[in-house]
Amino acid sequence: MAWALAVILVPRLLAAAAVAAAAAAVVTSRGDVTVVCHDLEMVEVTWGLGPNHQGANLSLEFRYGTGALRPCPQYFLSGAGVTSGCILPAARVGLLELALRDGGGAMVFKARQRASTWLKPSPPRNLTLLWTPDGDVAVSWPAHSYLGLDYEVQHRENSNGNEDAWQTTSGPCCDLMVGGLDPARCYDFRVRASPRAAHYGLEAQPSEWTAVTKLSGAASTGDPCAAHLPPLASCTASPTPAPAPAPAPAPALLPLGCCLAALLTLALLLAALRLRRVKDALLPCVPDPSGSFPGLFEKHHGNFQAWIADAQATAPPARTEEEDDLIRPKAKRVEPEDGTFLCTVPRPPSFESRGQGGGAMVSVGGATFMVGDSGYMTL
Amino acid sequence: MVLLRSLFILQVLVRMVLTYNFSNCNFASITDIYCNIIFHDLTGDLKGAKFAKFEQIEDCESKPACLLKIENYTLNPIPGCPSLPEKIFAWRTRAALIGHCPGYPETERNDGTQEMAQEVQNICLNQTSQILRLWYSFMQSPE
């Protein structure tokens, strides 16, 4: 039984050891381990992730000076879930000791130097470009919080991203004058900080370049001294890559159009209401019966009983069939002066006393007719 | 045995008493000489060597303290590198200290013993590396 277990387990153990050894051997050489001190504030240690990295989980310990070794405060993990790097705080004085070990405790990488040995500064910020009256460009930027840096200023004529066209001017902090430029042209500028080798050593590396800043010619800046120069094409001085400007909010065309249409419609409607036909169609008149009962309201104050009694006392003779042939005008609209709409029915034909011919007198629309015994009307 | 021990202790004490105080040096002038001359001598001496493989042994936190250690490492022979004080960067370091540190002794130092005669290149490279890193600390340290 024991032999069987040994036969099964020993090969597996040997294979695992070989994998660990291979992984550890990969990072033994310093080329697999990189150390970068970002701006003298933070140290980043990363170890190999190449095809030879067999999944070994390495651990990092560090210390400054002679204190006790401390474990890495923050690891990076690779896609396989094993450690691939470490972030630890930087100190400007004292020697930093790094110890990278595998799972079995074997040392795979060791270093003991000042953290500044691996310095990589941050790019300069808030780059300022200014044309001088002499036609030079004054480039300035705020200083870093530590010394020992040189700065490289590169410029090129505003071409289509030609990387070979950059020209370099170097100097200490924190301003440089770039001459030999044409104030009538546009230029691209960028700057980076470079640790001096005599200050930090040969392992320190320059910062990343700042974003390209475009500078328009002196004529476009309103410089009175350059007023005689020809106008330039558009070349705004802005720190690029600036984000695309946010699109201006679209005007509220739809609500505005709707409002205008509504107002126009209302105006047309109001104008149309002045036409009689439209008025009649939209606002039919309310008939006023007072015309049918003359004197009802004037004499009898709306007392219909009294009006009937009065009307009977003065009632005309009974209507004959011929009277049905009388032309009765239609009710017509009468617009009183106060603007109200009233429908007045013309007074019904009144039968007056008999005329000289013996026939009854009829007044219709201001005209008086005499109705003869034969029923014919004569004027 | 007791005599040798006494002589050794006496030598250490004398060295401590006679150790120069570098606080009054003209650090600006020494910085210029280092940046323009000594640095190039040191890197030239280390050219081709895997500089990074040498760990830094000592550090310093002020310019006077750094100059003290630089002077000690540069001008004193060590077993395996007796020629170190005769290298060009050592001569120029000594000249800078004499010229810009008031009262710095100009007396020659003793040659190495016979035990130091055998030159070991790796030891010399390591020592030169230590000197260069002390100069880096000098440049980064306050006065």
Residue ranges making up the domain that contains B86: 37-104+116-142
Give the residue on B whose Cα is nearest the Cα of A203. B52
Region A148-164: mean pLDDT is 86
In a domain, B10, yes or no: no
Question: Residue B48 falls within a domain, yes or no?
Answer: yes
pLDDT tens, residue by residue, A74-94: 999 988 888 999 999 999 999
Comparison of pLDDT for B56 and A142, the residue scoring more: A142
> Which distant-in-sequence residues (6+ apart) come within 8 Å of A315 by Cβ?
none
- Locate the domains of chain A by residue range: 33-119, 122-215
Confidence bin at A235 (pLDDT 50/70/90): low
- Rounded to whole angstroms, the Cα distance separating A140 from A374 reads 123
Q: Is A198 on the interface with B (CB under 8 A)?
A: yes
Q: Which candidate from A95, A117, A198 shows the least CB-CB separation from B35?
A: A198
Q: A56 Cβ partners below 8 Å, 6+ apart? A: A19, A20, A23, A24, A82, A102, A103
Assign B120 a pLDDT band (cuts: 50, 70, 90).
Answer: confident
Q: Helix or strand or coil: residue A342?
A: strand
| Superfamily of segment(s) A122-215 | Immunoglobulins (2.60.40.10)
More confident residue, A49 or B136: B136
DSSP state, residue A327:
-
Q: What is the mean pLDDT of chain A?
A: 76
Residue A20 reports pLDDT greater than 70: no
Q: Which site among B31, B132, B139, B141 would you substitute to test the A interface, given the most A Cβ atoms closer than 10 Å to its Cβ?
A: B139
Q: Which residues of B touch A (CB under 8 A)?
A: 34-35, 39, 43, 51-53, 55-56, 59, 61, 132-133, 135-137, 139-141
pTM above 0.80, yes or no: no
Task: Output b/e per residue, A28-55; b: 16+ Cβ within 10 A.
Answer: beeebbebebbbbeebbbbbbbeeebbe
**How many Cβ pairs closer than 8 A exist between chain A and B?**
51
Half-sphere exposure of A167 (CA within 13 A, CB side): 11
**Chain B neighbors of A198, CB-CB under 8 A:** 34-35, 39, 135, 139
Do residues A183 and A148 touch, judged by C-beta distance below 8 A? no
Whole-complex ipTM: 0.84
Of the candidates A30, A199, A203, the beta carbon closest to that of B140 is on A199
Of A40-44, A142-146, A359-363, the range with the lowest mean pLDDT is: A359-363
β pairing state of A95-101 and A107-114: antiparallel
* CB-based contact A282:A276 (threshold 8 Å): no
Does B56 reside within a domain?
A: yes
> How close A65 gets to chain B, by Cα (Å)?
9
**Which residues fall within 8 angstroms of residue B7, CB to CB, at 6 or more apart?**
none
Residue A94 has its nearest CB partner, among B59, B132, B133, at B59
| Residue A344 pLDDT | 47
Domain A33-119 has CATH 2.60.40.10: yes
> Cβ separation of A113 and B56 shorter than 8 Å?
yes
Distance of alpha carbon A291 from alpha carbon A344, whole angstroms: 6
Torsion angles phi and psi, residue A302, rounded to 5 = 85, 0
Enumerate the residues of chain B whose CB falls inside 8 A of the CB of residue A203: 52
Q: Which residue has the higher pLDDT, B18 or B40?
A: B40
- Under the banding of pLDDT at 50, 70 and 90, the label for residue A21 is very low
How near does any CA of chain A get to the CA of B40, in Å? 9
Q: Do the Cβ atoms of A144 and A121 come closer than 8 Å?
A: yes
| Res A293: pLDDT | 80
B136 and A110: CB-CB below 8 Å? no
Backbone angles phi, psi at A262, to 5 degrees: -65, -40
Residues B7-27 have a mean pLDDT of: 73
Confidence of residue A309 (pLDDT cuts 50, 70, 90): confident
CATH of the domain at B57: 1.20.1250.90
Kindly indicate the confidence band of residue A2, based on its pLDDT and cuts at 50, 70 and 90.
low
What b/e sequence results for A336-349 when a residue is b if at least 16 CB atoms lie within 10 Å of its CB, and e otherwise?
Answer: eeeeeeeebbbeeb
Nearest CA in chain A to B35: A198
Instruction: Please state the three-class secondary structure of A66-131 as a single string.
Output: CCCCEECCEEEECCCCCEEEEEEECCCCCEEEEEEECCCCCEEEEEEEEHHHHEECCCCCCCEEEE
Task: Note the pLDDT of residue A11.
Answer: 59
Whether residues A202 and B43 touch (CB distance < 8 A) is answered with yes
Is position B81 within any domain? yes
In a domain, B59, yes or no: yes
Q: Is the pLDDT of residue A135 over 80?
A: yes
**Angle of helix B88-100 versus helix B63-75 axis, rounded to 10:** 140
**Whether the Cβ atoms of residue A150 and residue A172 lie closer than 8 Å to each other:** yes
Q: Which of B22, B37, B46, B40 is nearest to B138 (CA)?
A: B22
Asked if A116 lies within 8 A of B140 by C-beta distance, the reply is yes
Counting the structural domains of chain B, the total is: 1
- Residue B135: what are its φ and ψ, rounded to 5°? -65, -40
What's the whole-number mean pLDDT along residues A334-356? 48
Q: Which of A96, A113, A149 to mutate to test the interface with B (most CBs of B within 10 A)?
A: A113
SS3 A46: strand
DSSP letter for each residue of A198-253: HHH-SS--PPPPPPPEEE--GGGGT-GGGTTSPPPPP----BSSPPPPPPPPPP-H
Q: Please state whether the peptide bond connecting residue A174 to the residue before it is cis, i.e. omega within 30 degrees of 0.
A: yes
> What are the phi and psi torsion angles at A58 (to 5°)?
-90, 155
- Contacts for A98 with CB less than 8 Å, ≥ 6 apart: A35, A45, A60, A61, A62, A109, A110, A111, A112
pLDDT, tens digit (0-9, with 9 covering 90-100), for A96-130: 999 999 888 899 999 999 999 999 999 999 999 99
Q: What is the per-residue pLDDT for A239? A: 47
